[in-house]
């Protein structure tokens, strides 16, 4: 095959992959290049490792399926850094530090009256860690951009100071790692990892309330960093004083620096966000449709994005242009979808089907790999997708106690972080679980 033929086939594959999974399609797919294309495997070159991670975690299935459909053969795909014209990047080893979401940058963040202070303080902090607002505490309801801003700070700080040691993690992860360090007797390593960082960024600190020993640990970590002039950035769903059972000494420390609130965005900001998200995905969106979406979805930006995705997914599957009428039909389905909460039974159904095991196996005492893995995945997904307590989750899976569930969640969470295959599997299952609501 000539180079031109390969390129043209590859362009078709990318287009098909976009159509198969519009939610995860991005404009920068245009920059992807074929690195190798031989028999059963395609190597796809990406601009940098953040793109590779995004593709590995979200798009492996759609690209593989697309490649198989277009070529008519069983092919596997592999995402790599390089081949995109910048040979410097191709030789770059993956940068150490947290896995940042490639979409969550300042460039992709729409600033409006509702988030202006939070945005400005994040920009200031990212430009000189430890030197402006310390700690910086962001709070606001779910889906208003806290995690996005925390990642943007890390992107920017890492860009400015190549070797900056930045720790970004969710509060739950901090607590889990702390508990594991105690169990495995390597607290010293844990301390040195967190207490010597240039910046510690902890998302959703309202979950600190769940375990007391971790508040003590967090207190000492905070002091060590603060006294050394290192940056601390925190987010939560409410201001420090309103986080239930947060120790007073932590509440007061969280108030030492700047506390910035994020409010729900107004109509104009929502329109701009819809347009930004559409642009990021390479989708054309006219003002009328953007305005319609912004009027329909008001409280949560994640849902705003979901609405956009649903509309384009419907347009793709129906082979129809995106019109106001189509947008209406798409969102009517979506509103139903949003009102029904996911249950543990839904999760168990998808997981047992996927692994081809029976519910009674999951509930049994059997401890073989083929049973424990799906069982632990059920627990993890129930923990992340529902509001059930650890006890309730354990109850559904053969009356296991809450520490068993907690360990299972920590274990899967750890694997998810170290193994892109696990992340991809969890994404796939989540997609199937949430899709059961579309019908």
The footprint of ligand ADP on residues 237-256 (CB under 6 A) is none
Where on the chain is the footprint of Mg ion (CB under 5 A)? Answer: 146-147
DSSP 50-75: HHHHHHHHHTHHHHHHHHHHHHSS--
281 interacts with, out of ligand ADP, Mg ion, none, CB within 5 to 8 A per kind? none
Stretch that binds ligand ADP, among 76-84, 105-113, 158-166, 209-217 (CB under 6 A): 105-113
Contact between 78 and 60 (Cβ < 8 Å): no
Structure-token pair, residue 104: 């969550």
The reply on whether position 305 binds ligand ADP by CB under 6 A is: yes
110 interacts with, out of Mg ion, ligand ADP, none, CB within 5 to 8 A per kind? ligand ADP
Q: Return d(Cα 411, Cα 407) in angstroms, integer.
A: 6
Strands of 102-245 (E only): list them: 136-139, 166-170, 199-203, 231-236
Q: Please, what is the minimum distance in Å from the beta carbon of residue 372 to ligand ADP? A: 31
Contact between 69 and 16 (Cβ < 8 Å): yes
Stretch that binds ligand ADP, among 92-100, 124-132, 297-305, 388-396 (CB under 6 A): 297-305
Residue 40 is given by DSSP the state T
Residue 42 is given by DSSP the state E
The reply on whether position 148 binds ligand ADP by CB under 6 A is: yes
CA 40 to chain centre: 31
Q: Please, what is the minimum distance in Å from the beta carbon of residue 404 to ligand ADP? A: 29
Structure-token pair, residue 214: 């971790």
The reply on whether position 145 binds ligand ADP by CB under 6 A is: yes
The reply on whether position 142 binds ligand ADP by CB under 6 A is: yes
Residue 55 CA: distances (Å) to CA of 61, 92, 107, 417: 10, 18, 20, 15
Q: Residue 281: exposed, middle, or buried by beta-carbon count in 10 A (0-12, 13-18, 19+)?
A: buried
| Residue with smaller CB distance to ligand ADP, 45 or 102 | 102
Q: Please, what is the minimum distance in Å from the beta carbon of residue 147 to Mg ion? A: 3
Residues paired with residue 78 on neighbouring β-strands, in sequence order:
43
297: left (phi over 0), alpha (psi -120 to 50) or beta: beta
Dmax over Cα atoms in the chain, in whole Å? 69
The reply on whether position 168 binds ligand ADP by CB under 6 A is: no
The reply on whether position 146 binds ligand ADP by CB under 6 A is: yes
> Phi and psi of 15, rounded to 5°?
-65, -40
329 interacts with, out of Mg ion, ligand ADP, none, CB within 5 to 8 A per kind? none
Q: Which of 51, 57, 58, 115 binds ligand ADP (CB under 6 A)?
A: 115
Residues in Cβ contact with 348 at an 8 Å cutoff, skipping those fewer than 6 apart:
359, 362, 378, 396, 397
Q: Please, what is the minimum distance in Å from the beta carbon of residue 146 to Mg ion? A: 5
Q: Please, what is the minimum distance in Å from the beta carbon of residue 108 to Mg ion? A: 15
- Number of chain residues interacting with ligand ADP (CB under 6 A): 19
Q: Which of 273, 379, 381, 422 binds ligand ADP (CB under 6 A)?
A: 273
Residues constituting the chain: 439
Please name the helix (run of DSSP H) or strand (run of DSSP E) that holds residue 81, with its range, or none. Answer: strand 76-81
- What's the helix, strand, coil split of the chain in %, to 5? 60, 10, 30
| Residue with smaller CB distance to ligand ADP, 111 or 326 | 111
Q: Which of 34, 67, 100, 110 binds ligand ADP (CB under 6 A)?
A: 110
Q: Which of 57, 134, 147, 170 binds ligand ADP (CB under 6 A)?
A: 147
Q: Please, what is the minimum distance in Å from the beta carbon of residue 158 to ligand ADP? A: 18
29 interacts with, out of ligand ADP, Mg ion, none, CB within 5 to 8 A per kind? none
Q: Which of 302, 329, 388, 407 binds ligand ADP (CB under 6 A)?
A: 302
Q: What end-to-end distance do the CA atoms of the chain give, in Å? A: 43
Structure-token pair, residue 156: 């920017």
Stretch that binds ligand ADP, among 90-98, 206-214, 298-306, 400-408 (CB under 6 A): 298-306
Q: Which of 22, 82, 143, 374 binds ligand ADP (CB under 6 A)?
A: 143
| Residue with smaller CB distance to Mg ion, 37 or 104 | 104
| Residue with smaller CB distance to Mg ion, 34 or 201 | 201
Which residue ranges make up the site for ligand ADP (CB under 6 A)? Answer: 103-104, 108-110, 115, 140, 142-148, 273, 276, 301-302, 305
């Amino acid at each position: 095959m000539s180079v031109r033929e390969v390129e043209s086939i590859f362009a078709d594959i990318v287009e098909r992959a976009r159509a198969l999974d519009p939610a995860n399609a991005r404009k920068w797919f245009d920059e992807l290049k074929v690195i190798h294309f031989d028999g059963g495997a395609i190597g796809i070159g990406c601009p940098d490792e953040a793109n590779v991670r995004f593709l590995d975690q979200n798009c492996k299935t759609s690209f593989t399926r697309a490649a198989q459909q277009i070529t008519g053969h069983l092919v596997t795909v592999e995402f790599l850094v390089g081949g995109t014209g910048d040979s410097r990047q191709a030789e770059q080893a993956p940068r150490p530090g947290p896995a940042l979401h490639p979409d969550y940058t300042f460039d992709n963040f729409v600033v409006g009256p509702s988030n202006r202070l939070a945005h400005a303080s994040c920009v200031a902090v990212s430009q000189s860690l430890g030197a402006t607002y310390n700690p910086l505490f962001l709070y606001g309801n779910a889906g208003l951009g806290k995690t996005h801003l925390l990642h943007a700070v890390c992107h920017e700080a890492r860009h400015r100071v190549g070797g900056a040691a930045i720790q970004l993690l969710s509060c739950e992860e901090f607590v889990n790692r702390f508990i594991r360090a105690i169990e495995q007797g390597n607290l010293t390593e844990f301390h040195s990892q967190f207490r010597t960082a240039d910046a510690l960024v902890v998302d959703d600190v309202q979950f600190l309330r769940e375990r007391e020993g971790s508040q003590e640990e967090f207190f000492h970590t905070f002091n060590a960093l603060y006294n050394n002039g290192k940056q601390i950035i925190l987010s939560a769903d409410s201001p420090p004083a309103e986080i239930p059972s947060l120790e007073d000494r932590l509440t007061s420390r969280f108030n030492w620096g700047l506390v910035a609130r994020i409010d729900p965005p107004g109509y104009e900001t929502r329109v701009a966000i819809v347009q930004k998200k559409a642009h990021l995905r390479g989708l054309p969106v006219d003002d009328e449709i953007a305005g319609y979406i912004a009027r329909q979805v008001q409280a949560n930006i994640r849902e705003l994005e979901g609405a956009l995705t649903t509309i384009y997914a419907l347009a793709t599957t129906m082979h129809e242009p995106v019109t106001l009428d189509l947008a209406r039909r798409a969102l009517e389905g979506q509103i139903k979808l949003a009102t029904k909460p996911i249950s543990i039974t839904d999760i168990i159904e998808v997981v047992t089907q996927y692994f081809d095991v029976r519910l009674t196996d999951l509930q049994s005492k059997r401890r073989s790999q083929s049973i424990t893995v799906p069982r632990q995945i059920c627990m993890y997904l129930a923990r992340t997708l529902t509001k059930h307590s650890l006890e309730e989750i354990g109850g559904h899976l053969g009356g296991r106690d809450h520490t068993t569930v907690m360990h299972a969640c920590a274990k899967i969470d750890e694997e998810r972080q170290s193994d892109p295959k696990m992340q991809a599997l969890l994404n796939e299952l989540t997609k199937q679980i949430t899709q059961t609501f579309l019908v």
